[in-house]
Structure 1
Amino acid sequence: MLRLEANQVERRIGDRLLFRIAGVLRLYEGERVGLVGVNGAGKSTLLSVLAGLEEPDGGTVARHGSVAVVRQLDEAGERAGTGPSEESLAGGETEAPEGEPSRPAEYATMSGGERTRWKWRQAMRKRAALLFADEPTSHLDTEGAAEVEEELRTYEGTVLLISHDRMLLDRVCTRILELEDGEVREYSGNFSEYRRQKELRRERALFEYEQYDKERKRLERAAVEKAESAKGMKREKTGKTNTEARLGKDQFNRRKSKVEKTAQAIRKRIEQLEVKEKPKSQEQPVFDIRYHKPIHAKEAIRLERVTRSFGARMLFRPFSCGITPGMRLGIVGPNGSGKTTLLQTIVRGEAGVWTSAASQIGYFDQRLEGLDEERTVLGQVAESSDYPETSIRTALARLLMKRDDVFKPVSVLSGGEKVKAALAKLFMADCNVLLLDEPTNYLDIFARAKLAEVLREYPGTILFCSHDRFFLDEVATHLLVIENGEWTFEIGGYSEYRERKKKRHCLEMPPEGDAEAEKEKLAELVPAVEYRERLTPAEREAETMRLELELTGLLGRLAAPGKHESKPELEAAYNECLGRLKQLKQR
């Protein structure tokens, strides 16, 4: 069943074309369509036009059925009361169901995540035929994003959504609309399939450009050769009669004219060649180990019995762990659980934090306080870096800050551009340990992918907080997860952690029937060798070293427990650590 039809729709800002839908765009019952594009491409405006919140400057939009909209969170606009209403829709059955509550009195004091959840619940109650969602996981933690993902995946109506959450787009979408340079292009499948199709298009475009360039150069050489040949032609000097000389001159002119006509024909063929544009090149970042002092210690950072409280409330209980050089540690947990507090504790070197003498820590703050608003991007990145300017500009380009963008003062940058500038400043500095607090904030899905590539290539140690599940999978070699005030150290990315958590949950459930047989069956899900085989040889060596150090520390604490330490808990931690070490050493 057809749910939406947009015909020749376009929108302008002054004289600039923001977007145009060439032909007809149709959305059908049950489709889940993702709308993607770089920041500033016009995605939110396009969604608003299709939902009926804004009128197009050209073309028509027909919606068939009820409509629900989840607008992108705009805290400043909402506090001022200027944000557009989700219910001010044109076309279709747009009224909220009878009895739907208005915004609660405490809405103004809600956090970003609480506002997003509230908006989402109101939209879900409508059970509309058409759901338009602009960043529905904005400000949500990983668990909240997973809940929204599941509701979208099972939604009975038609969905058009904007999201920078790669995992959500992969698991939910059946089609992708790309808004690029004002044009809307359609791709079947999820986001990963869209990327595959787009790369094939890029490769085809590159091949066509190379063929065009090769043929154009061949024809240009031929035209030059013919023109030179015509210029160099000379009449023969012989002792011929006047009549013979005239005949010879006519033959010479005919030959020269023929050569010139051939040259003209070649030039005309060059003009008639279908021009092919060269696809955009794939820049590579330049990290040089000479600018990042290596850490030769067994651990770059050691946390020993670190805990934090606010008044009577304990944020997290004491825990210990070691971060080895080269580790990329993702810090995961619900909003307000203490992730940022942990990073700040490390930066300040508070009680329980040990860092290697060779560690040079760089800290990315969500508030972007390390940027000078009046200076240019290139100027302040270069000021704190020993890298040459070409390397700095390459790193900025890799984060999608190119050409004249690098000469802009920070004061005129968007939120996403400021994030890129602050990250580039850290990458190019002489740091070898990066602490990043939500580095994907304000970045679109393409910039997040570029950032993940850069972080994987960084020749140092990284600790980072993020709610982006795909980003955690792409970057993290290990995770530090907090739940109910307890930290756990995990190997691998977020998806691996979730799978292990499900298996642990199965093992902890009371078995039905034959208890021993059920336990044996569940134990097959997590064979001992799996823990070892998930790691590369280098990671196994580093993990073995870490566990041996942890065992040594636990033995010392068992011999003389601290005032607030429980011997049974220390023994349990020792046995768990010893078990992991035995698994790693199995052959």
Structure 2
Amino acid sequence: MKPITINNLTFAYPGQEPLFNHCYLNISSDWKLGLLGRNGRGKTTLLKILQKQLSFQGSIQTNLKFNYYPLSIREPNDYTVNALTRSGYQGEQWQLERELNLMATSVELLWRPFSSLSGGEQTRIMLATLFAQDGYFPLLDEPTNHLDQDGRKQIAQYLKTKKNGFIITSHDRDFLDKIIDHSLVMEQHQLVLTHGNYSDYFIHKQQRDSNAIKKNENLLKDIHQLKQTRQAKSQWAKQAENEKKNNSHADKGFIGTKAAKMMKKATIMKKRLDTAIEERKGLLKEIEKVVPLTINVLPSNHQPLLAINDLTLSYPTKHLCSNLTTTIEKNTQVLLCGNNGTGKSSIIKAITGTFNGKQTGNIIFSNALKISTVRQDYSNNHGSLRSFASSAKIDYDQFLNLLRKLGMNRATFNVPIEEMSMGQQKKVELARSLAEPAHLYLWDEPLNYLDTYNQQQLIQLIQEKRPPMLIIEHDQNFINRIATKKIEI
């Protein structure tokens, strides 16, 4: 067991509010620590600070050497085993094979070009690389992206059996519950370190939020009463002054002295009340509430909106799906489920006319059907948000409003899309789809890089608006809460 001791950590990006302000933490290397919190709160930043990639104020004391997921792969077109060595892997080949076997993953992947591997296969390879190297403490930044349900179960079981600790970020609650024994959560104004998994933290947070809401209600009542008292004292002073001005027959000296005393008391009282009100305002806890999203769904009287009949897809060396038949109608949310590599994304490509393999069967669209997509690969999104909105033909103000609701900081609005974090780029892709006028939405793994708050926003939106959708997703909680029809591929 080796400690990670963080003393008086303060960090802020130029021109932004501090992500960490005089923070103190003690972390043990034998913990399986879940690093949680909304996007933009500093999870990836903390991992970079631990690796000494960012300058900061304060100190971090540890003898640990860190390695990081995802790896930066050099020469991805080379055989995977060679690409890993060129990317810094210092272990032996048998160690890689050992870790892949523990993940129930074929070692033959090492002898295929890394770029030819699926997202899930690349994830397994990179995780095996980290744990195959002795003497390192792994930092895992969202390894569940691109993993199907079986893949997540396999990786969860793999990580659960590890004797050494690690720090992991993920937005899959079920996945985290299976593997972590401590949680470090970056809330709005504090870091909360707790023993247990995500559900243990969430129960604790609900109790704290409930107490805070009650306290807020009482504080708001106090503030209201203090404001009323302050207003009454001001009225007394004004009445005394008016008595002096309007009573021509009274003793001016007496009334003037009385008014002056009253004014002095009122001024002192006002200062005291102002101080008391500000103190109570400072005690108010901010409870994060889910801000509702909007979607620009177009009404349609055509039924069904989309019909797929006996669709079969394949490549010359790989068969994907066979004889798929289904319909998407008004208010239905169809979930395509299945393991990676079974052709789910290819089905969406076939619908949008971008599948470049062999295709048989029929896809029938309703008249003048407008489709909006959320893609897995949106690397061609670039430039300013204004130019992007213009090229996408969406309302710029509505687009920015959706980004704000999704939690994007206003300071980020001036950053070119290609320079944004992956989570921010995902929000750009999602906000574009929500802002586009459409009859039907095709979303391919929309939850990748989105935090649990954003996931709840999407669940709430879909449950309330019930837009016609065809969705590929592996998060079981999301599937169970929004799907009206499931199709296993």
TM-score between the two structures when normalised by the length of structure 2: 0.76
Match of 2:104 in 1: none
How far off its partner does 1:229 sit?
Answer: 2.6
Determine if the alignment matches structure 1 residue 440 to structure 2 residue 447.
yes
Match of 2:300 in 1: 294
Match of 1:323 in 2: 328
Of structures 1 and 2, the one with the larger relative CO (CA 8 A, separation 6+) is 2
Determine if the alignment matches structure 1 residue 270 to structure 2 residue 274.
yes
Match of 2:23 in 1: 22
Q: Distance in 2 between matches of 1:134 and 1:259?
A: 62
Match of 2:70 in 1: 72
**Aligned pair in 2 of structure 1 residues 371, 69: CA closer, same or farther (>3 Å)?**
closer
How far off its partner does 1:326 sit?
Answer: 1.8
Q: Distance in 1 between matches of 2:295 and 2:114?
A: 45
Instruction: In structure 2, give the amino acid aligned to 1:149.
Output: A
How far off its partner does 1:448 sit?
Answer: 3.2
Structure 1 gaps of 5+ residues are 88-95, 240-244, 483-587
Give CA deviations for 1:454-482 in whole Å, capped at 9, x if unaligned: 33334421111223333333332322222
Q: Distance in 2 between matches of 1:194 and 1:83?
A: 40
**Aligned pair in 2 of structure 1 residues 222, 412: CA closer, same or farther (>3 Å)?**
farther
The one of 307, 310, 313 aligned to 1:305: 310
Q: Please list, as runs of the form range in 1=range in 2, the aligned pairs for 1:490-505 lying within 5 A after superposition.
A: none
Instruction: In structure 2, give the amino acid aligned to 1:232.
Output: N
User: Are the equivalent residues in 1 in contact too, given 2:320–2:343 (CA < 8 A)?
Assistant: yes
**Aligned pair in 2 of structure 1 residues 454, 413: CA closer, same or farther (>3 Å)?**
farther
**Aligned pair in 2 of structure 1 residues 84, 129: CA closer, same or farther (>3 Å)?**
closer
Q: Distance in 2 between matches of 1:286 and 1:432?
A: 14
Give CA deviations for 1:281-331 in whole Å, capped at 9, x if unaligned: 64323457xx5213452x332221110121253222223223332221222
The one of 284, 289, 292 aligned to 1:284: 292
The one of 221, 226, 237 aligned to 2:231: 221
Q: Distance in 1 between matches of 2:387 and 2:40?
A: 19
How far off its partner does 1:352 sit?
Answer: 1.4
Choose 365-374 or 442-451, whichever is displaced more: 365-374
Match of 1:501 in 2: none
Match of 2:158 in 1: 151
Determine if the alignment matches structure 1 residue 360 to structure 2 residue 370.
yes
Give CA deviations for 1:8-43 in whole Å, capped at 9, x if unaligned: 1525367674435633424385x4321013344332
Give CA deviations for 1:207-255 in whole Å, capped at 9, x if unaligned: 366245424532442343233234323175449xxxxx5xx72475145
TM-score between the two structures when normalised by the length of structure 1: 0.65
**Aligned pair in 2 of structure 1 residues 381, 398: CA closer, same or farther (>3 Å)?**
farther
**Aligned pair in 2 of structure 1 residues 364, 55: CA closer, same or farther (>3 Å)?**
closer
Larger Rg: 1
Q: Distance in 2 between matches of 1:330 and 1:348?
A: 20
Q: Distance in 1 between matches of 2:92 and 2:8?
A: 30
The total of aligned residue pairs comes to 457
Match of 1:583 in 2: none
**Aligned pair in 2 of structure 1 residues 154, 397: CA closer, same or farther (>3 Å)?**
same
User: Are the equivalent residues in 2 in contact too, given 1:174–1:190 (CA < 8 A)?
Assistant: yes
Determine if the alignment matches structure 1 residue 118 to structure 2 residue 125.
yes
Match of 1:520 in 2: none
User: Are the equivalent residues in 1 in contact too, given 2:381–2:418 (CA < 8 A)?
Assistant: no
Q: Secondary structure at the match of 2:308?
A: strand
**Aligned pair in 2 of structure 1 residues 378, 78: CA closer, same or farther (>3 Å)?**
closer
* % identity of equivalent residues: 21
Determine if the alignment matches structure 1 residue 343 to structure 2 residue 348.
yes
Choose 203-212 or 374-383, whichever is displaced more: 374-383
Q: Secondary structure at the match of 1:303?
A: strand
Q: What is the alpha-carbon root mean square deviation over aligned residues?
A: 4.2
Give CA deviations for 1:71-107 in whole Å, capped at 9, x if unaligned: 22445798999998577xxxxxxxx699746996756
Q: Distance in 2 between matches of 1:357 and 1:98?
A: 57
Q: Please list, as runs of the form range in 1=range in 2, the aligned pairs for 1:416-427 lying within 5 A after superposition.
A: 416-427=423-434
Choose 472-481 or 303-312, whichever is displaced more: 472-481
